[in-house]
Amino acid sequence: MFATDALIDRTILITGASSGLGRATAVLLSRMGARIIAVGRNEDRLIATASQLSGAGHVVRPFDLAAVEAIPEWLQSLAAECGPLRGVVHSAGVHLARPLQMLKADAVQQLLTVNVTAALMLAKGLRQRAVHESPASLVLMSSVMGQVGQAGVTAYSASKGAVDALCRSLALELATQGIRVNAIAPGQVETEMAEQQRGSLTTEQFERIRSMHPLGLGRAEDVASAVAFLISDASRWMTGTTLTVDGGYTAH
Protein backbone atom coordinates (compact mmCIF):
# COMPACT_ATOMS: atom_id res chain seq x y z
CA MET A 1 0.00 0.00 0.00
CA PHE A 2 2.97 2.31 0.70
CA ALA A 3 6.04 2.88 -1.45
CA THR A 4 8.93 0.68 -0.34
CA ASP A 5 11.32 3.63 -0.57
CA ALA A 6 9.15 6.23 1.20
CA LEU A 7 11.31 6.11 4.35
CA ILE A 8 14.56 4.97 2.84
CA ASP A 9 17.66 5.80 4.95
CA ARG A 10 15.53 7.27 7.75
CA THR A 11 16.17 6.19 11.32
CA ILE A 12 12.94 5.88 13.30
CA LEU A 13 12.76 5.07 17.00
CA ILE A 14 9.67 3.12 18.08
CA THR A 15 8.77 2.64 21.75
CA GLY A 16 6.49 -0.28 22.57
CA ALA A 17 8.05 -2.14 19.63
CA SER A 18 7.96 -5.40 21.58
CA SER A 19 4.20 -5.78 21.20
CA GLY A 20 0.91 -4.88 19.53
CA LEU A 21 0.71 -1.58 17.69
CA GLY A 22 4.39 -0.75 18.13
CA ARG A 23 5.45 -4.08 16.64
CA ALA A 24 3.08 -3.77 13.66
CA THR A 25 4.36 -0.23 13.11
CA ALA A 26 7.99 -1.39 13.16
CA VAL A 27 7.18 -4.06 10.57
CA LEU A 28 5.39 -1.63 8.24
CA LEU A 29 7.94 1.20 8.51
CA SER A 30 10.77 -1.27 7.82
CA ARG A 31 8.95 -2.32 4.63
CA MET A 32 8.98 1.35 3.64
CA GLY A 33 12.76 1.40 3.98
CA ALA A 34 13.19 2.79 7.50
CA ARG A 35 15.93 1.71 9.85
CA ILE A 36 14.21 0.87 13.14
CA ILE A 37 15.42 1.37 16.71
CA ALA A 38 13.09 -0.99 18.59
CA VAL A 39 12.50 -0.03 22.23
CA GLY A 40 10.66 -1.73 25.10
CA ARG A 41 11.69 -3.48 28.32
CA ASN A 42 11.49 -7.08 27.17
CA GLU A 43 14.57 -7.86 25.09
CA ASP A 44 13.34 -11.26 23.88
CA ARG A 45 10.15 -9.78 22.53
CA LEU A 46 12.11 -6.94 20.88
CA ILE A 47 14.32 -9.53 19.19
CA ALA A 48 11.16 -11.31 18.01
CA THR A 49 10.04 -8.01 16.45
CA ALA A 50 13.46 -7.49 14.85
CA SER A 51 13.21 -10.92 13.23
CA GLN A 52 10.05 -9.78 11.42
CA LEU A 53 11.58 -6.58 9.99
CA SER A 54 12.47 -6.06 6.33
CA GLY A 55 15.83 -4.62 5.29
CA ALA A 56 18.95 -4.28 7.39
CA GLY A 57 20.51 -2.10 10.08
CA HIS A 58 17.75 -2.34 12.67
CA VAL A 59 18.72 -2.31 16.33
CA VAL A 60 17.07 -3.48 19.53
CA ARG A 61 17.56 -1.25 22.56
CA PRO A 62 15.80 -2.36 25.76
CA PHE A 63 14.94 0.60 27.98
CA ASP A 64 12.48 1.21 30.81
CA LEU A 65 10.68 4.44 29.96
CA ALA A 66 9.66 4.82 33.59
CA ALA A 67 13.20 6.20 34.00
CA VAL A 68 11.88 9.46 32.54
CA GLU A 69 14.75 11.69 33.71
CA ALA A 70 17.22 9.60 31.72
CA ILE A 71 15.31 9.76 28.40
CA PRO A 72 16.84 12.91 26.80
CA GLU A 73 20.43 11.81 27.40
CA TRP A 74 19.65 8.28 26.31
CA LEU A 75 18.29 9.67 22.99
CA GLN A 76 21.51 11.58 22.58
CA SER A 77 23.58 8.43 22.95
CA LEU A 78 21.29 6.55 20.55
CA ALA A 79 21.64 9.29 17.94
CA ALA A 80 25.43 9.25 18.38
CA GLU A 81 25.39 5.51 17.79
CA CYS A 82 22.71 5.16 15.06
CA GLY A 83 22.62 8.62 13.48
CA PRO A 84 20.08 11.41 13.91
CA LEU A 85 16.40 10.46 14.08
CA ARG A 86 13.86 11.38 11.41
CA GLY A 87 11.03 10.13 13.56
CA VAL A 88 9.91 8.84 16.93
CA VAL A 89 6.76 6.78 17.52
CA HIS A 90 5.72 6.56 21.17
CA SER A 91 3.56 3.46 21.25
CA ALA A 92 4.59 2.20 24.70
CA GLY A 93 1.67 2.57 27.05
CA VAL A 94 -0.02 1.21 30.12
CA HIS A 95 -3.72 0.47 30.57
CA LEU A 96 -5.58 0.37 33.87
CA ALA A 97 -9.18 -0.68 34.58
CA ARG A 98 -10.11 0.07 38.19
CA PRO A 99 -13.32 1.37 39.75
CA LEU A 100 -12.54 4.39 41.94
CA GLN A 101 -12.74 2.43 45.19
CA MET A 102 -9.86 0.26 43.88
CA LEU A 103 -7.78 3.04 42.32
CA LYS A 104 -4.40 3.55 43.99
CA ALA A 105 -2.47 6.79 43.62
CA ASP A 106 0.83 5.08 42.90
CA ALA A 107 -0.71 3.06 40.04
CA VAL A 108 -2.09 6.31 38.58
CA GLN A 109 1.35 7.86 38.88
CA GLN A 110 3.03 4.91 37.14
CA LEU A 111 0.52 5.07 34.29
CA LEU A 112 0.95 8.83 33.84
CA THR A 113 4.72 8.43 33.88
CA VAL A 114 4.82 6.06 30.88
CA ASN A 115 1.83 7.44 28.94
CA VAL A 116 2.42 11.17 29.47
CA THR A 117 5.75 12.15 31.06
CA ALA A 118 7.72 9.77 28.85
CA ALA A 119 6.05 11.36 25.78
CA LEU A 120 7.22 14.80 26.91
CA MET A 121 10.73 13.58 27.70
CA LEU A 122 10.96 11.90 24.28
CA ALA A 123 10.02 15.25 22.71
CA LYS A 124 12.60 16.99 24.90
CA GLY A 125 15.22 14.49 23.77
CA LEU A 126 14.25 14.68 20.10
CA ARG A 127 14.46 18.48 19.92
CA GLN A 128 18.17 18.44 20.80
CA ARG A 129 20.15 19.47 17.72
CA ALA A 130 22.30 16.37 17.56
CA VAL A 131 19.33 14.02 18.00
CA HIS A 132 17.04 14.87 15.09
CA GLU A 133 17.40 15.65 11.44
CA SER A 134 14.61 17.84 10.11
CA PRO A 135 12.05 17.46 8.77
CA ALA A 136 11.26 15.07 11.59
CA SER A 137 8.00 13.63 12.86
CA LEU A 138 6.91 12.62 16.36
CA VAL A 139 3.83 10.38 16.59
CA LEU A 140 2.19 9.76 19.96
CA MET A 141 -0.24 6.92 20.60
CA SER A 142 -3.36 8.33 22.21
CA SER A 143 -6.75 6.57 22.37
CA VAL A 144 -10.43 7.26 21.77
CA MET A 145 -10.55 7.16 25.58
CA GLY A 146 -9.02 10.65 25.48
CA GLN A 147 -12.19 11.86 23.73
CA VAL A 148 -15.03 9.79 25.19
CA GLY A 149 -15.48 8.26 28.60
CA GLN A 150 -15.80 4.77 29.98
CA ALA A 151 -16.51 3.98 33.62
CA GLY A 152 -13.53 2.40 35.35
CA VAL A 153 -10.86 3.69 32.97
CA THR A 154 -10.51 7.18 34.45
CA ALA A 155 -6.72 7.27 34.86
CA TYR A 156 -6.13 5.88 31.38
CA SER A 157 -8.61 8.38 29.85
CA ALA A 158 -6.90 11.23 31.68
CA SER A 159 -3.53 10.17 30.31
CA LYS A 160 -4.80 10.04 26.74
CA GLY A 161 -6.59 13.40 27.04
CA ALA A 162 -3.24 14.74 28.23
CA VAL A 163 -1.49 13.24 25.19
CA ASP A 164 -3.95 15.00 22.83
CA ALA A 165 -3.43 18.30 24.62
CA LEU A 166 0.36 18.13 24.88
CA CYS A 167 0.53 17.16 21.21
CA ARG A 168 -0.97 20.54 20.24
CA SER A 169 1.39 22.58 22.43
CA LEU A 170 4.41 20.52 21.39
CA ALA A 171 3.49 21.05 17.73
CA LEU A 172 3.68 24.81 18.27
CA GLU A 173 6.89 24.61 20.28
CA LEU A 174 8.73 22.34 17.85
CA ALA A 175 7.53 23.69 14.48
CA THR A 176 10.49 26.06 14.11
CA GLN A 177 12.83 23.12 14.64
CA GLY A 178 11.21 21.30 11.73
CA ILE A 179 9.58 18.68 13.96
CA ARG A 180 5.92 17.84 13.40
CA VAL A 181 3.95 16.33 16.29
CA ASN A 182 0.71 14.38 15.87
CA ALA A 183 -1.23 11.77 17.80
CA ILE A 184 -3.34 8.78 16.80
CA ALA A 185 -6.48 7.80 18.69
CA PRO A 186 -7.23 4.15 18.01
CA GLY A 187 -10.45 2.43 18.96
CA GLN A 188 -10.31 -1.15 20.16
CA VAL A 189 -7.60 -3.06 18.33
CA GLU A 190 -6.97 -6.72 18.95
CA THR A 191 -3.55 -6.66 20.70
CA GLU A 192 -2.23 -7.94 24.04
CA MET A 193 -3.43 -4.77 25.74
CA ALA A 194 -6.93 -5.35 24.39
CA GLU A 195 -6.67 -8.95 25.53
CA GLN A 196 -5.72 -7.78 29.02
CA GLN A 197 -8.55 -5.25 29.00
CA ARG A 198 -10.93 -7.92 27.79
CA GLY A 199 -9.90 -9.85 30.88
CA SER A 200 -11.96 -7.47 33.00
CA LEU A 201 -15.08 -7.62 30.85
CA THR A 202 -17.78 -10.24 30.57
CA THR A 203 -18.47 -11.73 27.15
CA GLU A 204 -21.60 -9.60 27.07
CA GLN A 205 -19.73 -6.36 27.85
CA PHE A 206 -17.08 -7.19 25.27
CA GLU A 207 -19.73 -7.86 22.62
CA ARG A 208 -21.25 -4.47 23.36
CA ILE A 209 -17.88 -2.77 22.77
CA ARG A 210 -17.43 -4.74 19.58
CA SER A 211 -20.87 -3.71 18.36
CA MET A 212 -20.00 -0.05 18.97
CA HIS A 213 -17.31 -0.31 16.25
CA PRO A 214 -19.37 -0.18 13.02
CA LEU A 215 -16.37 -1.46 11.04
CA GLY A 216 -15.61 -4.14 13.64
CA LEU A 217 -12.56 -4.26 15.89
CA GLY A 218 -9.31 -3.04 14.39
CA ARG A 219 -6.14 -4.86 13.46
CA ALA A 220 -2.74 -3.57 14.53
CA GLU A 221 -1.92 -2.98 10.84
CA ASP A 222 -4.81 -0.50 10.58
CA VAL A 223 -3.11 1.72 13.14
CA ALA A 224 0.36 1.11 11.71
CA SER A 225 -0.87 2.52 8.37
CA ALA A 226 -1.92 5.74 10.10
CA VAL A 227 1.52 5.96 11.75
CA ALA A 228 3.17 5.43 8.36
CA PHE A 229 1.18 8.36 6.97
CA LEU A 230 2.07 10.66 9.88
CA ILE A 231 5.75 9.67 9.86
CA SER A 232 6.10 10.10 6.10
CA ASP A 233 6.25 13.29 4.03
CA ALA A 234 2.68 12.59 2.84
CA SER A 235 1.56 14.43 6.00
CA ARG A 236 4.12 17.26 5.71
CA TRP A 237 1.45 19.93 6.31
CA MET A 238 -0.03 18.29 9.40
CA THR A 239 0.97 19.06 12.96
CA GLY A 240 -0.83 19.29 16.30
CA THR A 241 -3.65 16.94 15.29
CA THR A 242 -5.06 13.75 16.71
CA LEU A 243 -6.00 11.36 13.95
CA THR A 244 -8.87 9.11 15.02
CA VAL A 245 -8.59 5.55 13.69
CA ASP A 246 -11.46 3.76 15.37
CA GLY A 247 -13.71 1.90 12.92
CA GLY A 248 -16.41 4.49 13.64
CA TYR A 249 -16.45 4.12 17.45
CA THR A 250 -16.59 7.87 18.13
CA ALA A 251 -18.93 8.60 15.22
CA HIS A 252 -21.87 7.72 17.48
Compute the distance between CA of residue 82 and CA of residue 11 in angstroms, rounded to an integer: 8
- Asked if residue 72 has a cis previous peptide bond (ω within 30° of 0), the answer is no
Contact pattern for other proteins over residues 186 through 205, marking x by CB under 8 A: -------------xxxxx-x
Sheet holding 132-141, edge to edge: 59-62, 35-40, 11-15, 85-90, 132-141, 179-186, 242-245
Nearer to other proteins, 96 or 181 (CB): 96
143 binds ligand NAP (CB under 6 A): yes
- The angle subtended at Cα 137 by Cα 26 and Cα 117, nearest 5°, is 85
Q: Among candidates 145, 144, 164, 147, which has minimal Cα distance to 156?
A: 145
According to the binding rule CB under 6 A, does residue 226 interact with ligand NAP?
no
CA distance 136 to 25: 17
Q: Among residues 190 and 221, whose Cβ is nearest to other proteins?
A: 190
Nearest approach in angstroms of CB 168 to ligand NAP is 18
Q: How far is the CB of 62 from ligand NAP (least distance, A)?
A: 8
Per CB under 8 A, 102 contacts other proteins: yes
Q: Which of 34, 46, 40 is nearest to 4 (CA)?
A: 34
* Dihedral-angle region of residue 216 (phi above 0 means left; psi in -120 to 50 means alpha; beta otherwise): left
**Which residue among the candidates 63, 74, 156, 229 is catalytic per the annotation?**
156
Q: Is 245 near ligand NAP (CB under 6 A)?
A: no
Is residue 152 part of the contact set for other proteins (CB under 8 A)?
yes
Binding mask 43-82 for ligand NAP (x = CB under 6 A): --x------------------xxx----------------
156 is catalytic: yes
Residues in contact with other proteins by CB under 8 A are 97-99, 101-102, 151-152, 199-203, 205
